[in-house]
Structure formats: C-alpha cells, structure tokens
Amino acid sequence: MQFQPVKSADRTLEILEVLADSPERIGLGDLARRLSIPKSSLHGILRTMVRRGWVETDESGLLFGLGVRSLLVGASYVERDDAVARTQPLLDWLNSQVDETAHLGRLDGTDVVYLAKRESRHPLRLYSAIGRRLPAHATALGKALLAARDDAEVADLLPAKLATLTPNTIDRRDDLLAELDRIRAAGYAVDREESSEGIRCFAVSLRTSHPPVDAVSVSAPVLRLDTRIEQRIIDALGQANERLLSPGA
C-alpha cells in the first residue's frame, strides 16, 4: 500500500521549511501561492503555529517567520547529534593548526547543512551560520561528499538544474563529474569562490559511515592565501580522519 502523508502535518512541515529558507518574513498571500494552500486553511494553521511559538508575526500580524520554538528544536538537534560531539576536538585542532574557519557539514538531499564551526580570529573571514544550507555542488564540503559516491548516485542526488551562486559555480553536470574525478584523485575538494566570492574552501569527507554523510572544511579569504598556506590547510585536512578515529593521534 502506497504511503499517504497526513495532509495537515505535511502542510505544517512545508510551512516551516519555506519559512526557514526565506531571508525575511513572508506575507500570507505569498506563502499561500508558494505552497498552493488556500488562504483560509493556511491562516488557521499559522495561527496555531504562532500560538505554540513555532511561527512569529510582525506587529501587523500579516508577515510570518520562524518562532523561537523552531530555534530551540534546531539547537537540540545539534546538541544531541553524535557526529557533532565526536568532531568537536577535530574542529578545535583544525582551527588551531591554520587559524582559519573550520566547519562540519552534512549532506541533506541536494544540499549541505552547516552543523558546527570554529571561527577564524582574523577580522576578514567567511560569514556562516549553523543551520545554513547551500547546494552541495557549489561547496567544498558537498563536493567532497559527492566524490565519495559513483557517478550514477551523484546523478540521482543532483537537482535537474544546478544553481549558480557566483560566476565560478560549476553549473554543468559534465563539468561537475570531471571535478569529482579530480577530487577522488587528489583526496580533497576545493571550492574556488564557487559559493562565495573572495572565499576559497578545502574539504574532506569523514569516513564515519558508508557512504559518508559528513565532511569537514577550512575556509579562508583568497587575499590571505598563498601556496604555502594552502598546503598547510590541505595537510591538516589530510590528517582529519586519522585524528577523528584516533583522538590521541
């Protein structure tokens, strides 16, 4: 028997996902169009979610965004995640070795989600936030994880159209597959200003599952990078799996 989702629960989750993806609050009409939900039904669901703290409105009551309850649940997920706990010492070590921003990311569908980070002490650094979601093909974290899969699996994972975040983003499937071959040969992935202009990122997947779903990265402004610093980052990432599996290494 084919699974049929409960419509009200499905709609509630869709609302949360759309609000989470939006950089600003969304009006009722716009939200109804995006979700193809009648305004009357949507308004009732939103009022319930506002009452429970999952959604907030502005003073007019016409614009909607995530509420504090969503934050608390998201924070609980990160606090209780085994991989996040296990990689804390590794992120500390990476950050201490190169003094640049280190991230833990997880593959979620076609995207990578930031789960943990260690900030660089430099005032000029990558902006990022825990919970931020980016297309996997446009990030070093995502490409490292895609490269751990064969081309058929990658084709199944990728969206029909590859999003372009900067002029450097790889947006052709053939070019991406060639890039993944280079990553497999090199043992690490590089984001050459593909997700954020002015920022270069290096990443490796973590061998904590098969296929891997988590990866760690180091990001730095291109203005601060030279061949010596890049090699230091690559060398540190090359030790990531050994240090994760043998914390005393």
Please report the pLDDT score of residue 105 as a whole number. 95
Helix (H/G/I), strand (E/B), else coil: 248: coil
Q: With beta carbons less than 8 A apart as the criterion, state whether 193 and 180 touch.
A: no
Asked whether residue 2 is domain-assigned, the answer is no
Both 149 and 113 in one domain: the answer is yes
Please report the pLDDT score of residue 4 as a whole number. 76
Both 171 and 226 in one domain: the answer is yes
The phi and psi torsions of 176 (rounded to 5 degrees) equal -65, -45
Both 64 and 89 in one domain: the answer is no
Residue ending a domain, choose from 71, 92, 122: 71
Asked whether residue 1 is domain-assigned, the answer is no
Low-confidence ranges of the chain (pLDDT < 70): 1-2, 122-128, 247-249
Both 198 and 135 in one domain: the answer is yes
Please report the pLDDT score of residue 125 as a whole number. 56
For β-strands 55-57 and 63-66, DSSP reports them as antiparallel
Centroid of chain to Cα 70:
17
Q: With beta carbons less than 8 A apart as the criterion, state whether 105 and 114 touch.
A: yes
Asked whether residue 76 is domain-assigned, the answer is no
Which residue range is the domain that position 139 belongs to? 81-245
What is the tally of structural domains in the chain? Answer: 2
Both 111 and 229 in one domain: the answer is yes
Please report the pLDDT score of residue 180 as a whole number. 97
